[in-house]
Structure 1
Amino acid sequence: MSKKLEGNGFWESSRIILPEHREGYLRLMKDRQRRGKPELDDQEVQLIEQALIESYNTRTAVTVTVFSPFDDTDMTGVVTSINTARREVKLVRGEDDFSWIKLEDIISVNTLITQYTAI
């Protein structure tokens, strides 16, 4: 007799995966990789806000790390507007390229200090 009909071979040889099931399985695997937002203490939040205000006042560039459940995003630009009512900052990255970023989504800010050397 054929090996397909012995033991569990009958069910093993008739396995079918529908496209809807495959998409659902891949979506489930992606959701399992989701991570939680890190908790920032008050001192870290204060340092982030201070760096954003400094960028706004002096028009210096900063690198902002924005939280995402799957992968954090780094954006570099100058803070040109602070909306305290909506708790957002406007980060301008180019002449026509800007983003409104919620303060609650920012997990770190690094200031970019440009050093000039005299020739």
Structure 2
Amino acid sequence: MASKLTANGVYEGSRIILPEHREAYVKAMSEQERRGKPVLDEQELQLIEDVLMESFHEHTTVTLTVFNPFDDEVLRGVVTAIDKPNRRIKLVRGAEDYSWPKIEEIIKASI
């Protein structure tokens, strides 16, 4: 006669995962996918600043790639304001759609 404690008995077959444990596991797995921010050289930083200033003065549309630890975000719009103390820009994407990406988080910019 087999014991209920082994070989998929009562205790073996009644395993459950608490929601708190599942959330902790999912969070730990997502943290493993986190990546570091790339280091940009001075020339690339100067190019990004030139593109931002051109969009600000000429009102041209720019495409920005903003760093995110999990997946980079691509934004298109016109730079309408530059907040120097906080080092961020106002990027208008539509009539009422805008965002304030930080200049340090921009890893690529093109017109």
Question: TM-score when scaled to structure 1?
Answer: 0.83
Number of the residue aligned with 1:51? 51
> Counterparts of 1:32 and 1:4 in 2: how far apart (Å)?
38
1:16 and 2:16 matched? yes
Number of the residue aligned with 2:39? 39
Map 1:20-31 to 2 at 5 A. Answer: 20-31=20-31
Question: TM-score when scaled to structure 2?
Answer: 0.88
Aligned length: 110
CA contact (8 A) 2:5 2:12 kept: no
Per the TM alignment, residue 18 of structure 1 is displaced from its structure 2 partner at its CA by 1.2
> Counterparts of 2:5 and 2:79 in 1: how far apart (Å)?
69
- Aligned-residue CA RMSD (Å): 1.8
Map 1:1-119 to 2 at 5 A. Answer: 1-2=1-2, 5-6=5-6, 9=8, 12-111=12-111
Aligned residue for 1:20, secondary structure, equals helix
Q: Which runs of 4+ in 1 moved over 3 A?
A: 2-6, 8-14
Number of the residue aligned with 1:116? none
Percent identity of the aligned residues? 55
> Aligned partner of 2:54: which letter?
E
> Counterparts of 2:12 and 2:63 in 1: how far apart (Å)?
53
Q: Tell me, which stretches of 5 or more residues in structure 1 are unaligned? A: 112-119
Tell me the alpha carbon deviations over residues 21-58 of structure 1, each in whole angstroms, 9 at most, x when there is no partner.
11110111011111111111111101000000011111
CA contact (8 A) 1:4 1:13 kept: no
